[in-house]
């Protein structure tokens, strides 16, 4: 208010200063504005204006596109426009088989899936679970299903037993398509699946005799199916497209709802913000059940005409050979993949590294578009209302939000840890939050009174990666080998706890939430606690006690995690 008052008093329309030239008044006003703290804003503006204007232009461009008819579109219909522009251009390349699908071929395969789905009696709102490895067929399956309004549940192919059953069950799937390489996993749960669920297998395994559950072979059915376009669905831009599951490291995986507009927003934002070109070739070794691989990666093919090279699984030994073989100009990575690619930015003179942080379901994704080392993203200080997000102060012991005397959440200061929140507006594709199939899980992610009293915001920060498991040991009877055997049977390898800490009891808060702060602070250093700590030695395939020597080997990088 002070700065506004000072500027108003220096207006040339005021009587006392009416004889002063307006340029002098402007200069004096600017001087007082700077002297009363305005220099901070101007400094930030000068440092970030180029980056922030790029964001504003991207947002305005997408708003214009959506206003120009996107709200009546779906991802399959937008892909149809792309395929018409580039019919004979390679769309998807499969590294494992050498197959190259042009946009015309991909469109025809999608149509074949659509007619097959209609022949099963599936229609708008039905769900089909897809449980197979990363390959072009997976894209054709969910796209073909979406063309006739059927929603795909993209199941993590690492899941087994209870986790697999849970993911299929919560989706309400009427059918399942699985890769024959996963037939054994399906056999283990077949008796627990809904008896009315129909199963289809795809692919061939010649070298291994796997037990195959009762299932129809999908491949000949698709080969004989019509490739003519099916009748269009009546679904719209904000209707459900498919489901992608959370990692499940804090419980069972949750089925996140992905609507057509959200798929479009993520893929379009990546294309425009990261400066991609229509003639780029993307190397994608990320799993296609994941939003990074399927939406950010394959979405560039479907919406913008880029060629995507699909690798079934990341391999450090073949990574660069593949990139050279397929003339890739863009590589996609996630998490710790780049630590396997030594000094790649200097070695190959990479001109741009762009990163983003977000979750499939969140409305507060952030990105690092200007290569700022150490930053995972930014929030514009010049145009904050363009993308209303906030880092909220919290009690690190209880994870509860800290509020002011009026009940509003308090934002963090620079350098202060907090929880990221995004303002919810269901009428805006940038700000909507569709949540999960489980409405209770959805409600747990919504917090009120964040920006203004009565508002609603999505709260991030719950999901995480399994690093250490704190276990309340019962009378010294804990068996590490038996525990590891049970973990291997129930959880994918990435969810296995790397460290175990055996404690007399697990600390809890007054509301019986696990007290994590002390455990996180002490880590796995054996000098900080008398509790026994074990490390999962992947080379030996067992847990071993963390000694001072083992601790040094881990921290110095002599022993791989």
What's the CATH code, domain 468-555?
Answer: 3.30.300
- Tell me the per-residue pLDDT of 467-521, one tens digit each, with 9 for 90 and over: 667 677 766 678 888 888 888 887 777 778 889 998 888 776 554 456 677 787 7
- Give the strand order in the sheet containing 90-94: 100-102, 90-94, 307-310, 281-284, 330-332
pLDDT of residue 250: 63
**pTM (two decimals):** 0.83
What is the length of the chain? Answer: 561
Number of Cα atoms under 13 Å in the Cβ half of residue 354: 18
- Domain ranges for the chain: 2-67, 71-353, 378-462, 468-555
DSSP-assigned letters across all residues of 151-189: EEEE--TT--HHHHHHHHHHHT-SEEEEEGGGHHHHHHH
Return d(Cα 233, Cα 124) in angstroms, integer: 8
For residue 44, how far is the Cα from the chain centroid?
30
Classify domain 71-353 by CATH architecture: 3-Layer(aba) Sandwich (3.40)
Confidence of residue 2 (pLDDT cuts 50, 70, 90): very low
Share above pLDDT 90 across residues of the chain, in percent, rounded to a whole number? 50
Q: What is the DSSP letter of 403?
A: B
pLDDT of residue 146: 98
Return d(Cα 400, Cα 122) in angstroms, integer: 44
Average pLDDT, the chain: 85
Q: What is the mean pLDDT of residues 66-75?
A: 69
Q: What is the mean pLDDT of residues 410-428?
A: 88
Confidence of residue 34 (pLDDT cuts 50, 70, 90): low
């Amino acid at each position: 208010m002070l700065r506004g008052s000072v500027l108003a008093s220096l207006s040339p329309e005021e009587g006392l200063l009416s004889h002063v030239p307006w340029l002098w008044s402007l200069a004096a006003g600017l001087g007082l504005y700077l002297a009363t703290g305005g220099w901070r804003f101007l400094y930030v503006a000068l440092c970030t204006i180029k980056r922030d204007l790029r964001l504003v232009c991207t947002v305005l461009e997408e708003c214009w596109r959506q206003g120009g008819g996107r709200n009546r579109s779906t991802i399959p219909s937008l892909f149809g426009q792309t395929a018409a522009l580039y019919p004979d251009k390679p769309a998807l390349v499969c590294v494992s088989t050498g197959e190259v699908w042009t946009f015309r071929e991909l469109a025809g395969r999608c149509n074949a899936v659509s007619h097959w789905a209609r022949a099963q009696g599936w229609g708008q709102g039905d769900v089909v679970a897809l449980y197979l490895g990363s390959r072009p067929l997976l894209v054709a399956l969910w796209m073909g299903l979406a063309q006739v309004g059927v929603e795909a549940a993209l199941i993590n192919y690492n899941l087994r037993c209870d986790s697999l059953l849970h993911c299929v069950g919560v989706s309400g799937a009427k059918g399942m398509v699985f890769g024959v390489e996963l037939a054994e996993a399906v056999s283990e749960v077949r008796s627990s699946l809904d008896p009315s669920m129909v199963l289809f297998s795809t692919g061939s395994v010649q070298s291994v005799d796997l037990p195959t559950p009762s299932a129809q072979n999908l491949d000949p059915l698709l080969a004989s199916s019509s490739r003519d376009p099916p009748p269009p669905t009546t679904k719209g831009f904000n209707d459900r497209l498919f489901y992608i599951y959370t990692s499940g490291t804090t419980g069972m995986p949750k089925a996140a709802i992905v609507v057509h507009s959200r798929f479009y927003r993520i893929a379009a934002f990546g294309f425009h913000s990261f400066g991609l070109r229509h003639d780029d070739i993307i190397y994608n070794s990320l799993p296609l059940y994941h939003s990074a691989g399927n939406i950010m990666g394959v979405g560039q093919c479907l919406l913008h005409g880029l060629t995507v090279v699909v690798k079934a699984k990341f391999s450090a030994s073949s990574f660069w050979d593949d990139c050279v073989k397929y003339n890739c100009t863009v590589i996609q990575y996630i998490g710790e993949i780049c630590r396997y690619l030594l000094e790649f930015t200097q070695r190959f003179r990479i001109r741009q590294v762009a990163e983003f942080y977000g979750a499939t379901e969140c409305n507060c994704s952030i990105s690092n578009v200007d290569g700022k080392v150490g930053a995972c993203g930014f929030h514009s200080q010049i145009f904050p209302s363009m993308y209303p997000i906030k880092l909220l102060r919290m009690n690190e012991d209880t994870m509860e939000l800290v509020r002011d005397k009026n009940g509003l959440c308090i934002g963090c200061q620079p350098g202060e840890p907090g929880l990221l929140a995004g303002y919810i507006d269901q009428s805006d594709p940038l700000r909507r939050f569709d949540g999960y199939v489980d409405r209770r899980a959805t409600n747990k992610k919504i917090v009120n009174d964040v920006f203004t009293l009565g508002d609603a915001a999505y709260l991030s920060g719950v999901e995480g990666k399994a690093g250490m498991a704190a276990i309340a040991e019962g009378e010294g009877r804990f068996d590490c080998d038996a525990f590891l055997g049970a973990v291997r049977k129930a959880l994918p390898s990435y969810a296995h706890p790397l460290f175990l800490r055996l404690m007399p009891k697990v600390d809890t808060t007054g509301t019986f939430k696990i007290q994590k702060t002390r455990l996180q602070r002490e880590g796995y250093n054996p000098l900080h606690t008398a509790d026994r700590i074990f490390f999962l030695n992947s080379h030996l395939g067992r847990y071993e006690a963390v000694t001072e020597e083992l601790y040094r080997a881990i921290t110095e990088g002599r022993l791989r995690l």
